[in-house]
Chains A and B, each alone.
Chain A
Amino acid sequence: MTQLPGLLDTEAIRKDFPLLDRVVHDGKKIVYLDNAATSQKPRQVLDALNAYYEQSNANVHRGVHVLAEEATALYEGARDKVAAFINAPSRDEVIFTKNASESLNLVANMLGWADEPYRVDAETEIVITEMEHHSNIVPWQLLSQRTGAKLKWFGITDEGRLDLSDIDEVITEKTKIVSFTLVSNIMGTVNPVEAIIRRAQEVGALVCIDASQAAPHMILDVQALQADFVAFTGHKMVGPTGIGVLWGRQELLEDLPPFLGGGEMIETVSMSSSTYAPAPHKFEAGTPPIAQAVGLGAAVDYLTAIGMDKIAAHEHAITEYAIKRLKEVEGLRIIGPTTAEDRGATISFTLGDIHPHDVGQVLDELGIAVRVGHHCARPVCLRYGIPATTRASFYLYSTPAEVDALVEGLEHVRNFFG
C-alpha cells in the first residue's frame, strides 16, 4: 500500500463511517469520491441525531418544561461549538440557516433592504467572480436586477486562478459588497483572500466569503480572514443536511434588517408593527433545524478531535498523489491548478472526447462515485470551452488506494469508449 507523509490513520477513521462499508453493483466496495457534493457521516453524528430525537426532542426557546430546556441547551450549545470552530469573537455572530445558499441569499437580502451606509442600489456595484458556485452568483444577480446595482466580476486565468490584474477597476469606490469563494467547488483553487480584502477595505466595501468548500477541509478562522460575512454548510463537513451557517460581524448584524419574519425573531409584536430580537435570533425566523444543528455540533467535535490542521495535511498529501497519478492517464486534462499548491482536494478533469456523463457511468459500474456535469459552476465550464467535467473530490477518509482505483477505472473508461 502507498504510504505518504502526512496521511491520517484512515483505517481507524473509516470505521467511524458506516456508509464506507457499503457494497454496490454485485459486490463492489464503494469508492466515494464525491465529497465536494456532500460528505459521509460518522457514527458520532448519527448517534447525536438519534439521541436528540429519542431523548430531548422539543421546540426551542419556548416551553418551560425539561425537554424544551434540554433542546434549547443542545441547540445553543451547537452554536457555541460552531463559534469556537471558526474562532468567532462572539457566539451571537453565528446564525443558523438551512444551507450555504440560504446564508448567501440572507446577506444579499440584508443589503437589499438596508439603510445607508450599507444599502445596495442603482448607484452602487456588486463584485463576485467567475469561479463561484451558482449559489454565490444567482442571489447577487437577483439583487442587481431588483436594485439596479451593477454586477461585476473577476475572471479566471488559464491556470484556474482568479485574475486580479484589474482589481482596482473591478473593486471601486462604488462597490458595496465583494462576495467570493475561498475554495472553488469545481477546480479546488484556494483564492488569495488577503489581496481582495485589502482592496475592498480601501474602498469601504463589505466582504462576504463562501467557505462551503473550506470549512470542511482547513482551519477556518473568521478573525484571521477579516471578512464581514462567512457562509458555509454542515453536510459537507460530516454534519447532516438542512443546516448551514452564516457568520457576520456583530455590529453589522445589529445594523442590518432581518429578511425572514416569523416566530423566534421578534421582541414584541402588535398588529401594526414589531420589534426584533437581537442577532442571531433576528435572522432565525420560525422553528430552526434543531436536530441538524445538534448534528453539526457533533460534526464539529469530531473534526476538532482529529484536528483541522491534520485533515488539511492529509488532503494535501492525497491531492499531490492524485494529481501525479491522474497525469499518467492518457488524454486526461486537469481543469484548474495542476499542482497541489494553493488548492484543495477537489480535482476536475476531462478525458479525451469522452463525455463526463459516460465517464461517470462507467466508473459507477466499478463502484466509484464521482460527480459529473458543470457542478453548479457553469461559467467555469464556459470559460474553458467545455460542456462539463468529471470531478473527484477527497476527504479525511480518502486513501491512496482509492486514488489508484480511480486511475484504473479511468483506464477502463478509455478502453470502453476507445
Chain B
Amino acid sequence: MKLDSMYQEVILDHYKHPHGRGLRDGDAEVHHVNPTCGDEITLRVKYAGDTVEDVSYEGQGCSISQASASVLNDLLVGKELAEAQKIQATFLELMQSKGQIEPDDAMEEVLEDAVAFAGVSKYPARVKCALLSWMAWKDATAQALGESAERKTA
C-alpha cells in the first residue's frame, strides 16, 4: 500500500516517541509555521564553538513534521557545523526529489533514519511538513552564528 511508503514504521516511532523534545537553553530561537496547515515549531540551537551542542524544540503538527524534528535532533546534535550542514543539504535534496531519488548507500550513511522520509517526497503537500524543522534549524543557526560573529568583532 502506498500509504506505508509515507508512514514508515521509523517515522511513526519518532512521532509517538520524539527524541530531544522540549525547549532548553540556546543561542538563538526561531518560530516557523507552515501556513497551509498550521504546523508550528519553536526551535532553539546551542553551539559549543563549531559543534552543535543541542537542538531543542516544541511544536504541534502532523506526524511527518513532528517525526522530522525528532530525527533532526538525533542526527545533528554532536555534529560539527559543516557536517550538520551537509546532512541538512542532503535531506533537502531528497525531499525536493519528487520521489525520483532512491536513496543509495552513500545517502543512507549521511541521513540514517531520515532516509525514511524518501516516500514523503512523492506527496507535494507534505514536503513542507517534513522540511519545517530543518528550515527552522538553518534559520536559527544563521542567527546564532551571526550573533557570535558580531560578538567576536565587537
Interface, chain A (partner B; CB < 8 A): 25, 355-358, 361-362, 365, 372-374, 378, 381, 387-388, 416-417
Chain B residues, Cβ within 8 Å of A365: 1-3
Please indicate which of the listed interface residues A357, A374, A417 has the most CB atoms of chain B within 10 Å of its own CB. Answer: A357
A387 and B63 form a contact (CB under 8 A):
no
Assess whether B60 is interfacial by the CB under 8 Å rule. Answer: yes
Measured CB to CB, the closest approach of chain A to B53, in angstroms, equals 30
Assess whether B61 is interfacial by the CB under 8 Å rule. Answer: yes
CA gap between A357 and B125 in the complex, in Å? 10
Query: With A378-B38, A381-B38 known to touch, is A355 a contact of B7 (CB < 8 Å)?
Result: no
A362 and B39 form a contact (CB under 8 A):
no
Query: With A373-B38, A387-B38, A388-B38 known to touch, is A357 a contact of B7 (CB < 8 Å)?
Result: no
CA gap between A346 and B129 in the complex, in Å? 26
Assess whether B29 is interfacial by the CB under 8 Å rule. Answer: no
A417 and B63 form a contact (CB under 8 A):
yes
Assess whether B142 is interfacial by the CB under 8 Å rule. Answer: no
Q: Which of B26-40 contact A (CB under 8 A)?
A: 36-40
Interface, chain B (partner A; CB < 8 A): 1-3, 6-7, 12, 36-40, 60-64, 123, 126, 129
B129's partner among A25, A357, A381, A387 (CB-CB below 8 A) is A357
20 CB-based A-B contacts, threshold 8 Å: A355-B60, A355-B62, A355-B63, A357-B37, A357-B39, A357-B61, A357-B63, A357-B64, A358-B63, A358-B64, A361-B6, A365-B3, A373-B37, A373-B38, A374-B37, A374-B38, A387-B38, A388-B37, A388-B38, A417-B63
> Which residue of chain A is the closest to B59 with respect to CB atoms?
A387
A357 and B62 form a contact (CB under 8 A):
yes
Measured CB to CB, the closest approach of chain A to B17, in angstroms, equals 14
Measured CB to CB, the closest approach of chain B to A366, in angstroms, equals 9
Query: With A25-B2, A365-B2, A416-B7 known to touch, is A357 a contact of B40 (CB < 8 Å)?
Result: no
CA gap between A173 and B36 in the complex, in Å? 38
Measured CB to CB, the closest approach of chain A to B129, in angstroms, equals 7
Chain A residues, Cβ within 8 Å of B38: 373-374, 378, 381, 387-388
A361 and B126 form a contact (CB under 8 A):
yes
Measured CB to CB, the closest approach of chain B to A229, in angstroms, equals 29
9 extra A-B contacts, CB within 8 A, seeds A357-B63, A365-B2, A387-B40: A357-B126, A358-B63, A361-B6, A361-B123, A361-B126, A381-B38, A387-B60, A388-B38, A416-B3
> Which residue of chain A is the closest to B60 with respect to CB atoms?
A387
CA gap between A374 and B3 in the complex, in Å? 24
CA gap between A358 and B38 in the complex, in Å? 13
A387 and B2 form a contact (CB under 8 A):
no
B61's partner among A355, A361, A381 (CB-CB below 8 A) is A355
> Which residue of chain B is the closest to A357 with respect to CB atoms?
B62
Chain B residues, Cβ within 8 Å of A388: 37-38
CA gap between A373 and B36 in the complex, in Å? 7
Chain A residues, Cβ within 8 Å of B39: 357, 387
CA gap between A356 and B37 in the complex, in Å? 9
CA gap between A381 and B35 in the complex, in Å? 13
Please indicate which of the listed interface residues A374, A378, A381, A387 has the most CB atoms of chain B within 10 Å of its own CB. Answer: A387
Chain B residues, Cβ within 8 Å of A361: 3, 6, 123, 126
Closest 3 CB pairs of A and B: A357-B62, A355-B62, A387-B38
CA gap between A410 and B12 in the complex, in Å? 18
> Which residue of chain B is the closest to A373 with respect to CB atoms?
B37
CA gap between A25 and B36 in the complex, in Å? 24
A372 and B6 form a contact (CB under 8 A):
no
CA gap between A378 and B36 in the complex, in Å? 10
CA gap between A25 and B1 in the complex, in Å? 10
Chain A residues, Cβ within 8 Å of B62: 355-358
Please indicate which of the listed interface residues A355, A372, A374, A388 has the most CB atoms of chain B within 10 Å of its own CB. Answer: A355
> Which residue of chain B is the closest to A354 with respect to CB atoms?
B63
